[in-house]
Structure 1
Amino acid sequence: MKAYIFPGQGAQFSGMGLDLYENSSLAKDLFDKANDILGFKITDIMFNGSAEDLKETKVTQPAIFLHSVILAKTLGDSFKPDMVAGHSLGEFSALVANGALSFEDGLKLVSQRALAMQKACELQPSTMAAVLGLEDAIVEKVCETIEGVVVAANYNCPGQLVISGEVEAINKACEALKEAGARRALVLPVGGAFHSPLMEPAREKLAAAIENTTFSKPNCPIYQNVTASPITDEAEIKANLISQLTAPVRWTQSVQQMIEDGATLFTEVGPGKVLQGLVKKINRASETASATFETNS
C-alpha cells in the first residue's frame, strides 16, 4: 500500500517550487492564485528570498504547504494514496492531498495558523529542544519533575524526541536529561513552544477558523498527529486539527500504525527528505521515495 507523507516547518529552502512554476501550467496557476489569497507575492520569497526571509513564520508555513500541495497536484494520475500523514504543518498539506480540504481553504487556514502561532510566541519567551538517545518514557518522566511548562512535543523516531516549553524550564530539563543519560539535549533555534500548552491562544484562534471551514469526506484515511490512527470522519478530523497545536506530534506512532495497516512505500511530497530519514529509523525495512512531478501537467 502507498503512503504519502508531508513535511512540516524546517524543510524550506531558497528556490523551492521554482521548477514546478516554470514547468507546469497547473502549478503556475496555483502559485499565482496563492499570491492573490495571501495578499503578498510569496512566490518572490520562495523562488528568490534568502534563508532569513523564508524563516519568517507567516512565510515558512504557507511556503512549505504550497510546495507540497502543488507538487501533489502535478503528479497527475500517478498520485493514488492509500493513506496520508503530515508532520505538524504537513497535516494540512495531507488533508488537501486526500480531498478533505480545498486548496484555497487549506492555504487560508495555514496562513491563519502561522499568524496565530507567531502571536502566541510573542506572549511568552518559550522554545524547544531535541533530546537524543533516551527512551520516550524516560524523557516524559524527567519533564514531569521540572518546575514550569515543559512537555514532550514531537515523537520523531525512537531515540529522538523534541520537548517544548518555557525557556527556563527547557534549560533545566536539558541539564536533567543529560544527567539521565541523553546523548544530546540541544535547544533548537525556534521562536516558540509549539505543540505545548503555551500554544493555547493560537489554538483558540485557529479553532474558530477551522469550525467555519467546510471539510469533505477524504478519499483515503489520514493518520493524524494527535491520535496516530486512521481518520476519515470530517468532524473528527476537525477536532484533531484543533487539538494539534497544543498536543504532541505522534510521528513514530503514526508511521508504526501505517506499517501495521499495510503501508509498504512511503513517498515524501514536498521539500527535503527529513521524513524519509525518520521512517527508516522507525522501520529500516520500509521503502521510501521523494515525489517527482511530470512536466506535461
Structure 2
Amino acid sequence: MTLALLFPGQGAQSPGFLHKLPQHDAVQATFDEASAALGLDVLSLDDAEALRSTVAVQIGLTVAGVALSRALAHDGLVPQFSAGLSVGAYAAAVSCEALSFADALHMVRKRAELMESAWPSGYGLSAIAGLSETQVETLADAHARDGGERVYVANVNAPRQIVVAGADTALEAFAARALAAGARKAQRLAVSVPSHCELLTDAADRLSAWARDIPFRAPRGVYVDNRGGRPLHSAEAIRADLATNMRYTVRWYDALTVMIESGASVLVEAPPGQVLTDIARERYPDVAALAASNLPLERLAAIVRRRLGEEST
C-alpha cells in the first residue's frame, strides 16, 4: 500500500468549504461528532465572517481533513502515510489513529485560541516565490540590520517557495525587498497570526502544558512531522510535534520528500484547496497527486484504486 494522505494548513480555507464536502455517511457522522464534542454546529464555521477567526479556520480544517480520511477509509482506502502542514498535522494524527478526533478538536481549539490571543492583530504570513530559504534568510538578516522589524522563515514548502512570518508592516517592507532581489511573487496569505516562528514560543509552551494528559498512541502506518520532515513512531514524539509545531519552521518539502522516498506514490490532498497537490506535481511529476476538492468522491476513490492496482501488477 503506497497511499499518502496530505492535510493542508491555514490559508487553504475558502467560504463554504465544509458545505462542499462529499455527501457521505462518514462525512455527516464526522460533522455530528465534531458538533457534539465542541458544543456548536461546526457547519457554522465556514462562512466568510466566521473564517475571520483563527479558531474557526483551524477547527474547520481539522473537521474537513478527518471527514475525507474517514470517507476514503469507508471505501477501503487507508493510507500508509499521513502528514499535514501546520494545523493539518492534527487531522494527520487522527488519520493514523495516534489521537482521537475529539481530543484533536479540543487541542486545535486551544492551539488556535493561544495563537490568536498572543498576537490578536497586525501580524500574519507572506509567501515568497522564486527565492531559496538561504536567500530569504539573508534578506531577513539584512532587513533587520537596516532597522526593519524581524521577519522569520515560517514554511519551506518547496526549494523556492518560502513563507515568512511577522508584523504586517514588516511583511510589506520585506515583500518589496524580496521582489527587488528577484522573487517572482510576494503574496500575503489568509492567516492573521505569525505562525511557525519564535513569536509563538510562549503559546507553544502553554499548549504543551495543557496537552500533557491527552492520550496519544503509536501511529498506525507512518506519521510524518512538520518540524523535521521525518517519520515519528512514538506517541510522545507525536504529542510534542503537535504541541510545539506552531513555533517551529514547517519543513513541508522535507516531509513530502521523505514520504516519496519511502514509497508513497499516490498522494491525496484533503479539502480544501490544492496547494499541496500543486507542490507535489511540480517537484515530483512521476507521482500521482490528487486534490480531493476537485473530484467527486467516487471518482477519486476509483482513481486511487486504479493507481494502486497498477503498481501491484
Deviation at 1:158, TM superposition (A): 2.7
Deviates more, 1:57-66 or 1:8-17: 8-17
Matches for 1:1-297 after TM superposition, within 5 Å: 1-18=2-19, 22-24=23-25, 26-46=26-46, 49=47, 51-75=48-72, 76-122=74-120, 125-147=122-144, 148-291=149-292, 293=297
Q: 1:272 to 1:178 in 2, by over 3 A?
A: closer
Deviation at 1:31, TM superposition (A): 1.5
Maintained 8 Å contact 2:200/2:246: yes
SS across alignment from 2:125: strand
| 1:40 aligned partner, one-letter code | L
Separation in 1 of the partners of 2:115 and 2:28?
29
SS across alignment from 2:127: strand
* Structure 1 runs not aligned, ≥5 long: none
1:61-107 CA distance string (max 9 Å, x none): 11111111022112215222111110111100000000000011011
| 1:133 aligned partner, one-letter code | G
| 1:116 aligned partner, one-letter code | L
Percent identity (aligned):
31
Maintained 8 Å contact 1:157/1:281: no
Deviation at 1:230, TM superposition (A): 0.9
Separation in 2 of the partners of 1:256 and 1:180?
28
| 1:228 aligned partner, one-letter code | G
SS across alignment from 1:225: coil
| 2:216 aligned partner, one-letter code | F
> What's the Cα RMSD here?
2.2
Separation in 2 of the partners of 1:53 and 1:259?
36
Maintained 8 Å contact 1:130/1:160: yes
Maintained 8 Å contact 1:158/1:282: no
TM-score by length of structure 2 reads 0.85
Separation in 1 of the partners of 2:275 and 2:186?
19
Separation in 1 of the partners of 2:271 and 2:61?
7
Deviation at 1:201, TM superposition (A): 3.0
Q: 1:198 to 1:19 in 2, by over 3 A?
A: closer
| 2:181 aligned partner, one-letter code | A
Count residues with an aligned counterpart. 290
SS across alignment from 2:124: strand
SS across alignment from 1:226: coil
Separation in 1 of the partners of 2:45 and 2:258?
37
Separation in 2 of the partners of 1:257 and 1:209?
31
Separation in 2 of the partners of 1:283 and 1:220?
22
Deviation at 1:136, TM superposition (A): 1.9
| 1:31 aligned partner, one-letter code | F
